Amino acid sequence: MLYTIKSHKPIAEIQRRLEESAARHQFGILTVHNLRETMKKKGVEFGTDCWVYEVCNPLQAKRVLEANGAVSTALPCRISVYGTEGDYSLSTLLPTALMKMFASPELEPVAQEVEAVIKTMMQDAAGTA
């Protein structure tokens, strides 16, 4: 399941607020993919701004990986920010939905915790919290 919220904030503010919120919640931003720039380097013009943030809480990641190593295929969590100036969307695949694919019901509480924090981070970044 996809979770999406809108923001009319400038992109620099969304990005700054996301970084600050991630740090407050003990999540690291592992990398940021600027898909528009990446595609441009490959000779493909893409007119929409699109950044993909790979975020992770190492303690939560350790818990799920120790329970089921296959979960590594869904890590790290991603938050996408896409659109045009003044009209951005922030989206993520919900961890609770992803964990259902791994048939490990014991991971549900961890997925719920991570999902709540990711939603909060997105709301902080969008300025809707």
Q: Is the pLDDT of residue 129 over 90?
A: no
Quick one: what percent of the chain has pLDDT higher than 70?
99
DSSP bridge pairs for 87: 84
pLDDT of 64 > 90? The answer is: yes
Average pLDDT of the chain is 95
Paired with 93 in beta bridges are: 2
The pLDDT of residue 116 is 98
CB distance 99 to 91 below 8 Å: no
CATH number at residue 112: 3.30.310.70
Question: For position 110, what pLDDT does the model report?
Answer: 95
- Angle in degrees, CA 120, 123, 128, rounded to 5: 135
Q: How far apart are CA 14 and CA 49, in angstroms?
A: 13
CB 110 within 8 A of CB 64: yes
Provide the residue type at 82 as one letter. Y
The range of the structural domain enclosing residue 15 comes to 2-126
pLDDT at 42: 96
Query: So what's the pLDDT on residue 81?
Result: 98
In this prediction, residue 43 has a pLDDT band, given cuts at 50, 70 and 90, of very high
Whether pTM exceeds 0.85: yes
Rg of the chain over all Cα atoms, to the nearest angstrom: 15
* 67-117 pLDDT per residue, tens: 999 999 999 999 999 999 889 999 999 999 999 999 889 999 999 999 999
Based on the structure, what is the number of domains in the chain? 1
The whole-number pLDDT of residue 34 equals 97
